[in-house]
Amino acid sequence: MDSTILKSDPVVGRFAPSPTGPLHLGSLVAALGSYLFAKHVEGRWLLRIEDIDLPRAIPGIADDMLFTLEILGFQWDAEVIYQSRRTEIYQAALQELIDKGMAYMCGCSRAEIAATVSGPDFGDDEIPYPGLCRKGIPSGKAGRAYRVKVDDEVIDFDDRVVGLYNQVLTDCCGDFVIQRADGPFAYHLAVVVDDAAGGINQVVRGSDLLSSTPRQIYLQRLIGYPTPIYAHLPLVTAPDGAKLSKRENAVSISENTDLRKTGGNLLLTALRFLGQMPPLFLNGVPAGELLSWAVENFKAENIPQVSSPFFVS
């Protein structure tokens, strides 16, 4: 039987921010989009804090994110999940892949992988791993990371915003990392395990994660998890068109403002960014009232594919 989620299943969506920086405009768009996709069809909406890499997490940011969402009227339907408390679950999934012969320890450095490529400099993240350690780590090398074996099949899916998308993993990434030897599990493994454990069957997030999705679908198939429906939203960019980065140019949406007073206006702009058309009489209404209107009147087909700046009116 095809493990893809059936359209008749009750929708369970989620918002999963990383506490490495403040809740910024791009985060707000992702939260709002995922909320509307789920709540418009009377589904459930869950929250997960993706703090799997604790050294990068900023103390207090997760609590600030939850407080900000609450002020804006978002309501989640279960206890908040923290990835940093779930390492045993990820370890069990890794062990299952090892037992199946689908994961192995790799001793290659980034420089060694880059040296296998001739021609232009593609950047470390774009060099497909050539499988140098598939048959075992060469003598004298220490293990650096666990990788999952991939093959040359086409991984494709129909995104609700972007449309049809596909990749051949051997061409774009090769055997990819699922745990570093120094401890942290990779995003791909953690997110797949958490989505399955939470019954998540609809993943709505920024289009910067679109190219990651085939890797996650591949892991779902290996472990036997259902594949959610995906929707990748346009990104909020800086005025110069650059991606809004938490560490470089993102500003907290709560900085120097009282969201109890200005939250409605902020949500109004976010809705327009997502192609929704709130009527003029909603200008100035509280955030919770505006969010209720948006849930009832949401039109997924109006979401644009093109990323753009976000100008608060």
- Alpha-carbon separation of residue 10 from 2, 6, 17, 79, 160 (angstroms): 18, 9, 23, 19, 17
| HSE-CB for 173 with a 13 A CA cutoff | 22
Instruction: Write the CATH number for 280.
Output: 3.40.50.620
**Quick one: 201 and 80 in the same domain?**
yes
**Quick one: 177 and 296 in the same domain?**
no
Of the residues 129, 163, 187, the one at which a domain ends? 187
- Alpha-carbon separation of residue 219 from 66, 186, 222, 251 (angstroms): 30, 12, 5, 34
Instruction: Write the CATH number for 94.
Output: 3.90.800.10
**Contacts of 34 by beta carbon, 8 Å cutoff, 6+ apart:** 13, 14, 15, 45, 202, 204, 205
Of the residues 134, 165, 187, the one at which a domain ends? 187
**Quick one: 165 and 268 in the same domain?**
no
**Domain range holding 132?**
88-187
The verdict on residue 296 lying in a domain is yes
Per-residue model confidence (pLDDT) at position 137: 92
**Quick one: 145 and 223 in the same domain?**
no
**Quick one: 175 and 219 in the same domain?**
no
Of the residues 187, 217, 250, the one at which a domain ends? 187
Q: Which residue has the tokens 């920024």?
A: 206
Per-residue model confidence (pLDDT) at position 312: 64
Per-residue model confidence (pLDDT) at position 117: 73
Q: In 111-122, which positions are buried (b, 16+ CB within 10 angstroms) versus exposed (e)?
A: eebeeeeeeeee
The verdict on residue 96 lying in a domain is yes
Per-residue model confidence (pLDDT) at position 115: 85
The two three-digit tokens of residue 129, written as one number: 């791993």
**Quick one: 202 and 183 in the same domain?**
no
**Quick one: 101 and 78 in the same domain?**
no
The verdict on residue 212 lying in a domain is yes
Q: State the sign of the Cα–Cα–Cα–Cα dihedral 236, 241, 247, 250.
A: negative
In the chain, the number of structural domains is 2
What are the pLDDT tens digits along the chain (313 aa)?
A: 233 444 567 999 999 999 998 888 899 999 999 999 999 999 999 999 999 988 889 999 999 999 999 999 999 999 999 999 999 999 999 999 999 999 999 999 888 888 887 644 554 456 899 999 999 998 888 899 999 999 999 999 999 999 999 999 999 999 999 999 877 899 999 999 999 999 999 999 999 999 999 999 999 999 999 999 999 999 998 776 666 655 444 567 866 677 888 888 899 999 999 999 999 999 989 999 999 999 999 999 999 998 877 766 5
**Quick one: 53 and 117 in the same domain?**
no
**Quick one: 245 and 277 in the same domain?**
yes
Per-residue model confidence (pLDDT) at position 3: 39
**Quick one: 286 and 207 in the same domain?**
yes
